[in-house]
Structure 1
């Protein structure tokens, strides 16, 4: 039995939370089974300029084997705990603010489970340790720019998986500055609809910290851009059309105000990936 994408509910551990319901369902099962429960955990990371929220800062996975063996795994989706970010740049202040929080969380989990943490394997971004992550500033990470090498492609694949194939897409690569509009729901930014200043390309960039909602909204905005392309609009005209176009609920809304401008699509990708 496997249950994924759960959240803890509000308040955490409430009897009617998705997690509590999953635990009750697992308790009804009989036999030599493996039960796997994955819980998406929102949270905040700190920077000298403020506090930022991610809808999936951690994922907790609990595996119960035959009702006797329990394995708990903690995954993180932030580089705030690292001495170097995913582009290989040192971030001592960010590390100093956040690494002790992760170490305290690991101590708490160890006390709860009665066993010390076992670090996972080193990967393209970092080397886990019993207290968080090793300091890689002397040896350097596995890749100088893991974000540019892997993450932008992974995000594109997640977005494409929500869309049917089409030949009505604008060019997705921009060589110069881009204009963009923020897509919001309630008080959160989900992503950015953009067009190249030279009118050569247009697309949508999901805000990673917004979680799956960013990609669900992106599918709706990419669909709208495809309709604009079929209508013969240029990329900049399609961006202007997005302000007036009624959007389905899952798409969020375009934040009112003037267009913003980034020096490059790469700069907008980095903005959306971190904040």
Structure 2
């Protein structure tokens, strides 16, 4: 099983308009929370998710009227005084034609034969209210736990047997809640969604060989570097040689691995995708630290040693311990994508 920062698959429902005097924005919020509750019943969501609310002009979606992001999904999210309730009251008060979007990031658990593991973004729920009339719901997953073959082309019958029924049951219950069957998303790099989960590709084979390594890993690198200024003080980001690495933690969470090649001029950071956005935020900091080492003329292994000996940092720091070695960067990226 491998986690991804890009959706592995998605499903969309068109929901009948609210009736009986129910406020449109309130209806959208109730739908989002209803889906979250269905996922939570199966440990596919936990009570510590994040919710965001945006309101944009229907005439020009670039015109942002309200943007409330990163709010905690509290035990009673719509209780008076909660951040989510206040944001929905503001959305309801907008008088012009607008597009209201609610986005919930759902931490949750996938199952393995040896136990269960947590991902900080197992699913996202997006509910969009168009001009206070049309309500669209999209559910996205960022895990391949539901597939018969993982995104590196390896059969995973036990993982599939443990997780696919959980997803199928959740989709069925969400459809009952919304009163319509889902429209599965298009086939993507990783898989082909169906109304009750994903297509079994063991007969015809997947669309791409090692789709995770081919598409996800380069996308991770682009995302890590997107917020950084251009610089000539850069180590190479790929290597065919073994790598040595140190674990990095942020606020007590393992967020990735700082690595250096044993034989050429390559070094970098492999984000632990299961912890979500925090892995990329921390990784950008360590890429800046590697630039500093490169500017001093240090080899990658010397840079790893130099960074390990620096004074501890307040939140994001290297986990104390010996430097470890793996046979390839691919093996380290595999580790970062799994646990």
Could you state the TM-score of these two structures normalised by the residue count of structure 1?
0.93
**Contact (CA 8 Å) 1:42, 1:57: kept in 2 or not?**
yes
Cα distance in 1 for residues equivalent to 2:271 and 2:76: 28
**CA 1:109–1:17 in 2, change beyond 3 Å: closer, same or farther?**
farther
- For the Cα contact (< 8 Å) 1:38–1:59, is it kept in 2? yes
| Structure 1 residue aligned with 2:147 | 82
Gap change, CA 1:272 and 1:195, over 3 Å in 2:
same
Give 1:115's aligned residue. Answer: 180
Q: Distance in 2 between matches of 1:223 and 1:177?
A: 23
Structure 2 match to 1:99 = 164
Partners of 2:189 and 2:215 within 8 A in 1:
no
Deviation at 1:11, TM superposition (A): 2.5
Change (3 A) 1:18 1:95: farther
Contact 2:121 2:142 in 1 (8 A): yes
Q: Which residue of 1 aligns with 2:324?
A: 260
For 1:63, what is the secondary structure of its paired residue? strand
Match of 2:196 among 131, 142, 150: 131
Distance 1:253 1:10, change over 3 A: farther
Aligned-pair CA distance for 1:265: 0.4
Q: 2:233 aligns with which of 147, 160, 168?
A: 168
Alignment partners' CA distance in 2, 1:185 and 1:176: 28
Is the contact made by 1:83 and 1:91 (CA closer than 8 Å) also made in structure 2? Answer: yes
> 1:213 maps to which residue?
278
Q: Which residue does 2:23 correspond to in 1?
A: none
The equivalences for 1:3-42 within 5 A come to 6=70, 8-11=72-75, 13=77, 15=79, 18-42=83-107
- The 1-side partners of 2:69 and 2:267 are apart by 31
The Cα shift of 1:5 comes to 5.7
What is the aligned partner in structure 1 of residue 267 from structure 2?
Answer: 202
Aligned to 1:53, which of 111, 118, 122? 118
Distance 2:335 2:83 in 1: 32
SS in 1 for 2:260: strand
- Size of the alignment, in residue pairs? 274
Deviation at 1:4, TM superposition (A): 7.9
Q: Does 1:273 align with 2:337?
A: yes
RMSD: 1.9
Q: What secondary structure sits across from 1:159 in the alignment?
A: helix
TM-score (norm 2): 0.76
The answer to whether the 8 Å contact 2:246/2:259 transfers is yes
Distance change >3 Å, CA 50–CA 156, structure 1 → 2: same
Aligned to 1:150: 215
SS at match of 2:143: coil
- The runs of 5 or more residues in structure 1 that have no matched partner are none
Structure 2 unaligned residues grouped into runs of 5+? 1-54, 57-66
